[in-house]
Structure 1
Amino acid sequence: MSERLLLMGVSGSGKSTLGPMLARALSLPFADADDFHPPANIAKMRAGTPLTDEDRWPWLASLGAWLAAQPAGGVVACSALRRAYRDRLREAVPGLRLLFLHGDPALIAARQSARPGHFMPPGLMASQFATLEPPAPEEGAILLDIREPPEALLRRALAGLRGPAPAAGEGRG
């Protein structure tokens, strides 16, 4: 059975760190959603302009197409901040499983400021948190608190993926 995973959270939550670790542990390909942004999206973010839904739909479509095309499954690191974005990905990738990296905005801001040269400037963090719709219980996301080191998050993610699927209305964490 293939495993198709979405590692989600605001910029700076650790998706690009944990994603490759998780993919290696599961022997799956990894894709970082940042690599799927068209140049126009990157230019907007570099300029400090938040993306609109119209900017995101083609980007999400390309991510969903990539993940759906992986015969053994795969791991995608993508902010997927709103339920509508996750729903769009689930339409393209039936059975998509969510892992939600969440944490204190101050910790995430500190991480962001330590990433010089990234196209997502720390000034857009407020818009990220304003847009964020944490997964609802029925989405069955595995919750991962970013205060833990990456190795501990990997162990929690793997344990959550091995555990029974949550019943409707339950999250895991």
Structure 2
Amino acid sequence: MMNNAIFIMGVSGCGKSTIGNLLSEALDIPFFDGDDFHPESNIKKMSNGIALNDEDRYDWLVTLNDLAKKQLQNNSCVIVCSALKESYRNILNRDIGNQVKWVHLVGSFEQILERLNKRENHFMSPDLLQSQFDILEQPKNAIEINISLKPEEIVERIKRDLSK
């Protein structure tokens, strides 16, 4: 079977890291949190409540694309990253499009804001959530999963859809 980079996308607070970790364990493949690859300048900006622009994100997206390419040489992997715009997903897909699977975690603004407000020690300010919903472009070819389900159910659905 061909190796795949499974990108889990969605706005901040939708559960990408939780689901990504569980999925990587279930599939026994490496997990990478896109937030860990942000340059310090991006983290500072977001910590100060300033939304990132396309220019801020570009090098970060290229880094994640390079990570996926490197991983695909040996194994499949799970990478979580907001990937809110089609142009961002195009950068992440670059030269590996046939080996990328997209999973979009979907929930209401209120549901996600409630989760963000409960989260501790994260650089993403809840004030930035609306800006993420504003720029979100629905992916065309993604497994779409509602975050109302239990994490284990979400992982089972993803595994089932990936095997199709």
The bucket for the TM-score relative to the shorter chain is: over 0.9
The corresponding residue for 1:108 is 112
- Supply the distance in 2 between the matched residues of 1:73 and 1:56 (Cα, whole angstroms): 24
How many residues are treated as equivalent by the alignment? Answer: 160
State the SS of the aligned residue for 2:115: helix
5+ residue gaps, structure 1, are 164-173
The corresponding residue for 2:17 is 16
Normalising by structure 2, what TM-score?
A: 0.95
State the SS of the aligned residue for 2:12: coil
Tell me the amino acid that sits aligned with residue 147 of structure 1: S
The corresponding residue for 2:45 is 44
Query: Higher RCO, 1 or 2 (CA under 8 Å, sep at least 6)?
Result: 2
- Is 2:91 aligned against 1:88? yes
Tell me the amino acid that sits aligned with residue 75 of structure 2: A
The corresponding residue for 1:119 is 123
Tell me the amino acid that sits aligned with residue 62 of structure 1: T
- Supply the distance in 1 between the matched residues of 2:101 and 2:6 (Cα, whole angstroms): 5
1:92–1:42 CA distance, 2 compared to 1 (3 A) = farther
Deviation at 1:24, TM superposition (A): 1.1
Tell me the amino acid that sits aligned with residue 117 of structure 2: S
Tell me the amino acid that sits aligned with residue 13 of structure 1: C
5+ residue gaps, structure 2, are none
Identity %: 42
Deviation track 1:98-146 (CA, whole Å, cap 9, x = no partner) reads: 000011110000000011221001000010100111112xxx2101100
- Supply the distance in 1 between the matched residues of 2:120 and 2:16 (Cα, whole angstroms): 17
- Is 2:24 aligned against 1:31? no
CA RMSD between the two structures: 0.8
> Please, which of 86, 98, 101 is the counterpart of residue 97 of structure 1?
101
